[in-house]
Amino acid sequence: MLERIRIVLIGTSHPGNIGGVARAMHNMGLADLALVAPRCEVITQDSISRASGADHLLHQASVHASLEEAVADCTLAVGASARSRTLPWPMLSPRELADRLPAECQAAESRVALVFGREDSGLTNAELQRCHAHVHIPTNADFSSLNLAAAVQVLAYECRMAWLSQSDGQADAPPTVPSDDDDLATHAELERYFEHLERTLIGIDFHDPDQPRQLMAKLRRLYLRARPERMEMNILRGILSATEKAANTKPPKP
């Protein structure tokens, strides 16, 4: 299960924080580190020192230009959020997130991304809207700011505890046979669907991009909450294609 969990850092500005994250991950048995548009050098004396023996994670970390690229193959993306946003999104505590992980990581193709934002400003609303859910660490309201590595450590610990609980119960659990039909749509497949959906809604004059009224954000929330499977996604894409075809063949309005 731990091999299927990816830690994603966006716009990190201090190499020491990346090193501290690597140490926190290695402490808890996580190894998949992805960096999105880092604002600093990754391999420095400071990052290696802060990694304290986990610097191999720094050398093997993947670097991406965008969040979409970093989580393209993931079936669940959870953004760490310290504050409420204009558009409410499913919110989990670290323990609630951990409770979901064994089931989320059961399928052979499943990948879970835990996404952390910039040290100074966190994740943007657009980045949070690309996550299925948000996780909030319930810190002291009078002093709520967490160091990046400390935040990763909290979630990594909960991941490990979930893995240990799963390992203890595996001996008595009946074997499961995964089905390809039940595979969840990946983040990249969902993004292609959202692009297709927006194009179709504009084409049939249902959506005006100049006056969006948060329509696409609300539809994102709906479909990300539903967690569609690949087969269901293919059906939805087929419906959109048929809608576009029908709209293009309708006679023009008098």
Domain locations in the chain as residue ranges: 2-170, 180-248
> Taking residues 94-116, what's their average pLDDT?
91
Dist. CA 160–CA 165, nearest whole Å: 9
Strand order from edge to edge, sheet including 112-116: 62-64, 32-36, 5-10, 112-116, 76-80, 133-135, 91-92
Dist. CA 104–CA 132, nearest whole Å: 12
pLDDT band at 183 (very low <50, low <70, confident <90, very high): confident
User: Do 131 and 124 touch, CB atoms closer than 8 A?
Assistant: no
| Tens-digit pLDDT profile for residues 106-143 | 887 899 999 999 998 899 989 999 999 999 999 998 88
pTM of this prediction exceeds 0.85: no
pLDDT band at 88 (very low <50, low <70, confident <90, very high): confident
> Taking residues 205-215, what's their average pLDDT?
88
| Tens-digit pLDDT profile for residues 223-237 | 988 889 989 999 999
Token pair for 178: 């995964």
| CATH code 1.10.357.10 for 2-170 | no
Fold exhibited by the domain 180-248: Helicase, Ruva Protein; domain 3 (1.10.8)
Least confident of 9-13, 87-91, 175-179, 225-229: 175-179
What average pLDDT does the chain have? 89
Instruction: Find the helix or strand (DSSP H, E) in which 203 lies.
Output: helix 187-203
Partners of 92 in the beta sheet? Answer: 135
Least confident of 51-60, 177-186, 238-247: 177-186
pLDDT band at 178 (very low <50, low <70, confident <90, very high): very low
The four Cα atoms 87, 93, 94, 100 give a dihedral, to 10 degrees, of -90
Residue 181 has pLDDT above 60, yes or no: no
Partners of 94 in the beta sheet? Answer: none
Residue 108: the pLDDT is: 77
pLDDT band at 171 (very low <50, low <70, confident <90, very high): very low
Note the Cα 249 to chain centre separation in Å.
Answer: 39
The four Cα atoms 152, 158, 160, 162 give a dihedral, to 10 degrees, of -150
Residue 162: the pLDDT is: 94
**Tally of CB atoms within 10 A around 63:** 13
Residue 248: the pLDDT is: 85
